[in-house]
Amino acid sequence: MSKPAELAPGVRHWRHYLDAGRQKLLVDEIFQLAKDAPFYHAGMPRTGQRLSVEMTNFGKLGWYSDAAKGYRYEARHPLTGATWPPIPATVLATWEETAGYPAPPEACLVNLYRNGARMGLHRDQDEEALDAPVLSISLGDHALFRFGAARARASSRSIGLESGDVLVFGGPARLMFHGIDRVYTASSTLIPGGGRINLTLRRVTRPG
């Protein structure tokens, strides 16, 4: 395993952590699992305005939002009512190798970016276990990722994320603002139908 670049305190980046063969196997597994947990568009709190990114989840808890109840974690898929599929073994292994946290992740949010989808600057703060890092795995088209200071949006920086990259945000970076400004269409052929997938792994409840 290569050493990560420390982009800022608490932000570690492994370029091409997963090689092309493992990326392909993982994408195949994601689409296989998504047959039982179809992608949906979450809605913003109150307005119900749909996010451009399509989502589904793996693991015990899935991130969801709609007009009525806002941002939250749910144990069941909002449309099928079924529990979420299990987190793929490659993904759990990546958490164990890079997160430095003594308990497994509970939520694996699958973000699918197609047709110019973006994600505005925000903070991940719907979790109780803020001592746990958040881990991201990028697959498919390259993206321009923006992240900022712990508080203000003023000092944000951008980096390109490529297929197979892993990012870990922990400690002082856990509540940083971040977002996806753009996805470079057809910069990769990994995803059937094109686009980018990001897996976001989170611990939601405090362990023990």
Residue among 163 and 198 whose Cβ is closer to ligand MD3: 198
**Paired strand residues for 201:** 108, 135
Q: CA 165, 52, 141 angle in degrees (round to 5)?
A: 30
Helix (H) or strand (E) holding 121: strand 119-122
Select from Fe ion, ligand MD3, none the partner in contact with residue 109, using the beta carbon and a kind-dependent cut-off of 5 to 8 Å. ligand MD3
Binding mask 114-153 for ligand MD3 (x = CB under 6 A): -----x----x---------x-x----------x------
* Site for ligand MD3 contains 166 (CB under 6 A): no
Question: Do 171 and 77 contact (CB within 8 A), yes or no?
Answer: no
Coil vs helix vs strand at 112: strand
Least distance from Fe ion to the Cβ atom of residue 59, Å: 16
Helix (H) or strand (E) holding 26: helix 20-34
Residue among 124 and 141 whose Cβ is closer to Fe ion: 124
Q: Binding residues for ligand MD3, per CB under 6 A?
A: 109, 111, 119, 124, 134, 136, 147, 167, 169, 173-174, 176, 178, 180, 198, 200
